[in-house]
Amino acid sequence: MLNTSTSDAPLVKMVDIHKQFGGVHAVEDVSIDLYPGEVVGVLGHNGAGKSCLMRILSGAMTPTSGDIYVNGDPAQLNSPQDARNYGIETIYQTLALANHLDAPANLFMGRELKTRFGNLDEPRMLDEATKALRQLNPNFKNLRDPVVRLSGGQRQVIAIARAIYFQAKVLIMDEPTAALGPSETAMVSDLIVKLKSEGIGIFLISHDMHDVFELCDRVMVMNKGKNVGAFDINDVNKDDILSLIIKGTLPDGWRPRGDNQ
């Protein structure tokens, strides 16, 4: 199953993660790992627990039980700050932008650059933000506008730049293309390929089967909080995955399809 792995320890390993809200089991004993330069798709319908699992990894939620290992060492992710310190960055589906602030303020939110005297270093933040944003979108203008006035694509670019600017090792992308047009979607796909080649591990949450099969190396499907199947992308086809997402089981008589290709 882990034919893309190297002999190194996985970037991230989540073992027997369990999350309970009152009587509801949002995530039940799910284990997953991620190796450098790998894209792992986390799939499932709404409420299957995939966002919950990813929120646990990004430190926004603490698991009821279960262990998380980063580079082989046990890690406590009690806050988003903890996760960021481990190089785990998240691009949230909601983008998590402060609408009244401008692009540099959003990019450096929580990690503001400061001068020697501890004041905010606005010119340097604007400079760095300009570089980071132009890298993703050369036409990015209006950097000093409140982000509420920017287009959906520009807002997405800020959210992505915020994650990759700080040398992420693990990137969680929660439906990064849901709000984007075709050309911007292609930009995100290219970016994922580029980041992958730089050795960054990516968890990709997506509903778009085309994206999943184009970008992912492995997939894990969740259904009702459980892991109902983790496969090398070559061993499954679209129908297998849809069956897992909807029914929670593989079609009858399924055999790994990688052998046939």
Partner 1 sequence: MSDVAKKSRIQFLPTGSSLHKLSALLTLGLLIFVFSFTSPAFFSVNNGLTILLQTSVIGLLAIGMTMVIITGGIDLSVGSVLALAGVVAGLLIKAGLPVFPAMVLGTFAGALCGFVNGLVVTKMRITPFVTTLGMMLVARGIALQLTGAAPISRLGEAFGTLGNGSFFRIVEMQANGFPKVVFPGIPYPAVLLLVMAVLGAFLLKKRQIGRHIFSVGSNEEAARLSGVNVDRTKIWAYTASGALAGLAGMVLMSRLVTVQPNEGVMYELDAIAASVIGGASLMGGVGSISGSMIGAFIIGVLRNGLNMAGTSAFIQMIIIGVVVIGAVYIDQIRNRN
60 binds partner 1 per the rule CB under 8 A: yes
119 binds partner 1 per the rule CB under 8 A: yes
Amino acid at 45: H
6 binds partner 1 per the rule CB under 8 A: no
Q: Candidates 65, 76, 81, 249: give the one binding partner 1 (CB under 8 A).
A: 81
Of 86-94, 190-198, 220-228, 240-248: span binding partner 1 (CB under 8 A): 86-94
Q: Are 239 and 49 in contact (CB under 8 A)?
A: no
114 binds partner 1 per the rule CB under 8 A: yes
171 binds partner 1 per the rule CB under 8 A: no
21 binds partner 1 per the rule CB under 8 A: no
88: nearest Cα among 28, 153, 12, 193: 12
Nearest-10 crossing angle of helices 152-165, 122-136: 110
12 binds partner 1 per the rule CB under 8 A: no
User: What's the min distance (Å) between Cβ of 157 and partner 1?
Assistant: 16
97 binds partner 1 per the rule CB under 8 A: yes
| CA–CA dist 89, 97 (Å, integer) | 15
Q: Candidates 27, 105, 172, 202: give the one binding partner 1 (CB under 8 A).
A: 105
Q: Are 162 and 113 in contact (CB under 8 A)?
A: no
112 binds partner 1 per the rule CB under 8 A: yes
CA angle (157 as vertex; 152, 158 as ends), nearest 5: 100
User: What's the min distance (Å) between Cβ of 88 and partner 1?
Assistant: 12
90 binds partner 1 per the rule CB under 8 A: yes
126 binds partner 1 per the rule CB under 8 A: yes
Q: In what order do the strands lie in the sheet with 12-21?
A: 24-34, 12-21, 65-70, 73-74
| CA–CA dist 35, 137 (Å, integer) | 28
DSSP class of 231 = E
Q: How far apart are the first and last CA of the chain?
A: 16
User: What's the min distance (Å) between Cβ of 191 and partner 1?
Assistant: 21
Residues forming contacts to partner 1 in the complex (CB under 8 A) are 58, 60, 79-81, 84, 90, 92, 94-102, 105, 109-112, 114, 118-120, 122, 126, 141, 143-146, 162
